[in-house]
Amino acid sequence: MNDSPGWATPGSSPSDGERPGAPSDQPASGGPKWSAEQPPPGQWSSPASGPAPGPTPPPQAPPQQGQGWGGPHAGQYGSPYGGQYGHPGGPGQWGKPPAAKPGVIPLRPLDMGEILDGAVTTMRAHWRSVLPITLVVATVVQVMSVLLQKYVMSDLVLGTDPAANFEEAINTLGTAAAVSIGVAFIQALGGIVATAMLTMIFSRAVLGNSSTVSAAWREARPQLPRLIGLTLLMGLGFTLIVAVLIVPGLLTESPGLAILGIFAAFPLATWLWIKYSLASPALMLEKSTVLKSLGRSSKLVKGTWWRIFGITLLTGVITGIVAAIIVWPLTFLGIGLFGGGMGGLQAGTASTAWGALIFSAIGAIIAQTIVMPMQSGVTVLLYVDQRIRREGLDLELARAAGVENYGTTGG
């Protein structure tokens, strides 16, 4: 076995048929294997001359009031974590026993609060690595978006012009759609770079290790082309869903068919989105291909789709509220000061004024700097949580983090 974090798929790390984390004196086959060093003669006393060997604890007095079910020696026997189990609501209450926590999360199956807390904790503890990445990416994306909106959108017929013919209206809509696609492409490309680097930072934070921006870039760079391919493939899939289910109703000018297609496309796209939501961390951390990462995500999500959907949806709601609180006040302030206020909105010039664009971009930069690491962190920790639940990844992570005797005792 090596000391790598163990991100590889199951079966590639263990050697010699050993189970990850199994004690060295217990082979995987379950047969006996004696230690090379035996206790000296006379160490064990006879039953008549002393207490019998074994893990049986000495008799204890009944628990006193306020002492809990564990008593003074609770957690001394049996628990691999060394914790105590007290009465419900008291210290050491029934529930999850304490687990090793070398980094931002405990090495055991996580609940929703621990996943969200782990993402926020990583942002706070490793802000020197996280914030520069998201700040640079958000700034580049917004600068290019502002330039596109200023020099392309300002030439469009944004107001209501009775003299404009149908061809001009079509050209206007086509140009606006091209600008929107261009802005979305820039944002997607920046998001891919940020996601790749943040995945490496969060994976190290799980082990309690820090990472620099340059180290995260070196680790992420070899997989960037595949991550771009994965993003394009998923985007193509969603486009095909829309084309097959919604476009026929629009082309035939059938409102009923179009509405039916929308009701069919939305749940199908959502189901596929969650099904393959863990493909990105699987591709980056397992160094796999695009198709293998999609298969890994499908396998990890299987049976827990609703749980992952709920956590992802809650994360989206939280980050959306945070972004709105930051972006909208600055956007309205820019329109009010530099865009002509309500008159500019009615004339269609408010959205292309330099001051309004700059204020809106500043708000978007601040929001994306905060939101991007939150979203990426939740996705990475969901991936880690699913592998802990299904594949015992906590054993590999504990060994890589240097946690001694983890998983070698039964509880």
User: For the stretch 115-135, what's the b/e string if a residue is b when 16 or more beta carbons lie within 10 angstroms of its beta carbon?
Assistant: bbebbebbbeebeebbeebbb
The stretch 18-34 carries a mean pLDDT of 40
Residue 336 resides in a domain: yes
Tell me how far apart the alpha carbons of residues 159 and 162 are, in angstroms, rounded to a whole number.
10
Count the neighbouring beta carbons within 10 Å of the beta carbon of residue 93: 14
| Tens-digit pLDDT profile for residues 80-115 | 333 333 333 344 444 555 788 999 999 999 999 999
User: For the stretch 45-68, what's the b/e string if a residue is b when 16 or more beta carbons lie within 10 angstroms of its beta carbon?
Assistant: eeeeeeeeeeeeeeeeeeeeeeeb
Q: Residue 4 is encoded by which pair of tokens?
A: 């790598």
| Tens-digit pLDDT profile for residues 170-208 | 666 666 677 777 778 888 888 899 999 999 999 999 999
Residue 405 resides in a domain: no
At 409, the pLDDT band (50, 70, 90 cuts) reads low
At 166, the pLDDT band (50, 70, 90 cuts) reads low
At 74, the pLDDT band (50, 70, 90 cuts) reads very low
User: For the stretch 14-32, what's the b/e string if a residue is b when 16 or more beta carbons lie within 10 angstroms of its beta carbon?
Assistant: beeeeebbeeeeeeeeeee
Q: Is 335 exposed, middle or buried (0-12, 13-18, 19+ CB in 10 A)?
A: buried
Residue 296 resides in a domain: yes
Name the residue range of residue 320's domain.
114-391
Residue 194 resides in a domain: yes
Q: Residue 80 is encoded by which pair of tokens?
A: 């691999």
Residue 259 has pLDDT above 50, yes or no: yes
Tell me how far apart the alpha carbons of residues 88 and 92 are, in angstroms, rounded to a whole number.
8
Residue 371 has pLDDT above 90, yes or no: yes
pLDDT of residue 170: 65
pLDDT of residue 120: 95
At 159, the pLDDT band (50, 70, 90 cuts) reads very low
Residue 72 resides in a domain: no
The count of structural domains within the chain is: 1
Tell me how far apart the alpha carbons of residues 187 and 167 are, in angstroms, rounded to a whole number.
30
Tell me how far apart the alpha carbons of residues 95 and 381 are, in angstroms, rounded to a whole number.
21
